[in-house]
Each structure stands twice: as structure tokens, then as C-alpha cells.
Structure 1
């Protein structure tokens, strides 16, 4: 009977520890994936994109002002 109890206890331990390990793995995976995402992945407004492109030097001042007027922000 002693061996039967030992195997039963080992089975119960797997039932308890396996979900805990899976939860920890999922938590750590999401934490590290979220920390490596691009900072611009959130929805940016068109004006924010325009300002970012102007700040990066992709647009001249004239292009920036023209596109800003088109967007309707004076």
C-alpha cells in the first residue's frame, strides 16, 4: 500500500503544480513580449504622426504647415 500512496501523492502534486507553472510561463511571456513592442504601436492621431515626422526631419517647415492646414488644426 505504501507505493500506491506515493504515486497518488505525486499525481496530486502534478495537478497542483502544472497549472501554476503554466500561469507563470504565460505571465512572463506576456510581460517580455509587451516590453519589447514598439512605442508607436498605440493608435496615434494624424497630427501626432505629422509632428513626429516633422521632428524627425522627414518634412520641411512648408510641408508641415501645409499638411497641418489640411488636417484642420490651425
Structure 2
């Protein structure tokens, strides 16, 4: 009798409770959703973004050189 109660009683509900709790914990702790992993992995550096903007004509040569110098100087400090 006791064996049947053990598997169909509150013990089973506690296992389900902890399982759901772990699933929720890990789902909220993920930095990005799985569908965005490729874009998360392929994130561009600030220098690459600056080069893309310069190539697209969004900024002038002077702006590019000034910002590039600041980015390179900041990365050397760290």
C-alpha cells in the first residue's frame, strides 16, 4: 500500500514542481532566444560598424578618422 502512495502522492507533485522551477529558471537566464543565437554570435565590433557607416556614405572622412582614432585609443587603454 505504501509503495502505491509513494508514486502517486505528493512526492510526484514535488518532482513536477522542481522540474518546472528549473525549466523556468533556465529559460529566463538565457541571454538571447535560440532564434537569435546566430545574430548574437555575429555581432559587429564598434570599429566594423564605423567602417560600414563610412562605406555607406553616412559619415564624412573627417568624422571617420576622428571616431576611428578614439576607438583605437580607447581599446589600447583597456
Q: TM range, normalised to the smaller chain?
A: 0.3 to 0.5
Max Rg structure: 1
